[in-house]
Amino acid sequence: MSQTMRALVKREAAEGIWMEEVPTPSPGTNEVLIKVEKTAICGTDLHIYLWDEWSQRNIEPGRVIGHEFVGCIEQLGDGVTGYEVGDRVSAEGHIVCGHCRNCRAGQPHVCANTIGIGVNRDGAFAEYVVTPASNLWPIPDEIAPELAAFFDPFGNAAHCALQFDLVGEDVLITGAGPIGIIAAGICRHVGARHVIITDVNDYRLNLARNMGATRTINVKRDSIAHVVEELGLDGFDIGLEMSGNATAFNDLLHHMYHGGKVALLGLLPDGTGCDWEQIIFKGLELHGIYGRRMYETWYKMTQMVLTGFPLRRALTHHIPIENYEHGFELMKDGECGKVVCDWTGVI
C-alpha cells in the first residue's frame, strides 16, 4: 500500500471538488482501513461541491468528502474483533458518541453528538477510508458492489418508509429524488395500496414509476387534488416528505386524511411555514427522520435486496472515478437516479 492515495478533496472555499494525492490514512484503535471499490454521490456531496451556505458552516477546506461506499477491509486497527482482512463492507456514515442518553438507551440513531464521515472527518471519495469497526455493515456476496455503494440513502428511504405500517395504506411521497424513488419501491414492496409520488422532473418520476409507484404527478402540469379526486380517495394515510420544498410540504399536509402519519426527511428551508390547522384539526402525527436505525435498518435493507427488492432500478449511472466531474454535473441537472463512481476499473 502506498503512502499516498487519490481522493476528492474540498480544497478551496469555492464551488468545485478536486482530485488530489493525499496521505493514506491509517486505522486507530477499534478502527479499520477499507480499500474503496465504489463511492456514490449523495445530495450532501453536491451541496459541498456547490459550496452552499450549509457547507460553508460545516465543511473545513481540505476535507476528503463522501460517505456512500463499499469496499474491502485492508487492515484492522488494534482491538478490532469480528472482522477479517478481505471482508466486503459498507458503513454507517454517522459515528455516534456511545455516551449520551440515547446511545446508552440503545437508540444511537438519535445520538445527540453524531460525527459525519465525509463531513466532519475524512470520507470515502478516496482509494482508502478509515471508519470505526462498530460502523461496518458486512455485505453478502450476492449483493453487487454498485448497489451496496448506496445502502446509506437506501437506508434513509427505508427508515422513513418503514416508520409506519404501510399494508393496504394510501401513501403520498413528495419529491422523487433518489431517496423518494427508492421509498416508492419500498412502500409497494411491503404492501401499500396507492403509492403516489410528486416531482417537477419527468426523468425522475419515470424512475419512481419503474420502481413501483402506482401514480406519478408532475406538479408543474398536474395537481395532487386532481389525482385524489380521480381515484376517489379521502386523502392519504401516510405522507413522506422527501423534497425539502415548502410548497410540496404544505400540499402534502393538505391532502392527508384525518389521523394520518407524516414522516419528514427533506430538509425544509429555514422559516418554512405551514397551515397549522391541517396538523391540529386533522390530528396528524409528524415524525422527523434523521439517518437510519443502527443497525436494524441495515438488516432490513440487506434482506429486502436478497428477497428481490429491485434496488438496481434506482441506479442510472455507473462511471469511472476519473469522470467524477460528469457525475456531479448529472446530480446538478437532476437527470439521474443514483450515480456510482468506481475506483477499481471494473464496471
Active-site residue set? 44, 47
Cβ proximity to Zn ion, 132 vs 212, nearer residue: 132
Instruction: Report DSSP letters for 23-40, one per residue.
Output: EPP---TTEEEEEEEEEE
> Within positions 204 to 233, which residues make up the interface with ligand NAD, using CB under 6 A?
204, 219
Stretch that binds ligand NAD, among 4-12, 13-21, 27-35, 260-268 (CB under 6 A): 260-268
Q: Measure the CA–CA gap between 168 and 170, rounded to whole angstroms.
A: 7
Which set of grid coordinates corresponds to residue 269? 428551508
By a kind-dependent CB cut-off of 5 to 8 A, residue 212 interacts, out of ligand NAD, Zn ion, none, with none
* Residue 205, helix vs strand vs coil: helix
10 Å CB burial of residue 276 (0-12, 13-18, 19+) is: exposed
Q: Measure the CA–CA gap between 150 and 90, rounded to whole angstroms.
A: 9
Which amino acid does the sequence have at 213? A
Task: Confirm or reject binding of residue 203 to ligand NAD (CB under 6 A).
Answer: no
Stretch that binds ligand NAD, among 2-10, 63-71, 177-185, 228-236 (CB under 6 A): 177-185
Task: Confirm or reject binding of residue 39 to ligand NAD (CB under 6 A).
Answer: no
By a kind-dependent CB cut-off of 5 to 8 A, residue 96 interacts, out of Zn ion, ligand NAD, none, with Zn ion
Stretch that binds ligand NAD, among 4-12, 22-30, 95-103, 263-271 (CB under 6 A): 263-271
Cβ proximity to ligand NAD, 99 vs 220, nearer residue: 220
> Within positions 94 to 123, which residues make up the interface with ligand NAD, using CB under 6 A?
none
Exposure string for 237-264, b = 16+ CB within 10 A, e = fewer? bbbbbbbbbeebbbbbbebbbeebbbbb
Cα dihedral across residues 312, 317, 318, 324: positive or negative: negative
| Half-sphere exposure at residue 150, Cβ-oriented, CA atoms within 13 angstroms | 26
Cβ proximity to ligand NAD, 34 vs 265, nearer residue: 265
By a kind-dependent CB cut-off of 5 to 8 A, residue 100 interacts, out of Zn ion, ligand NAD, none, with Zn ion
List residues near ligand NAD by CB under 6 A.
Answer: 43, 153, 156, 174-180, 198-201, 204, 219, 242-245, 247-248, 265-267, 289-291, 334
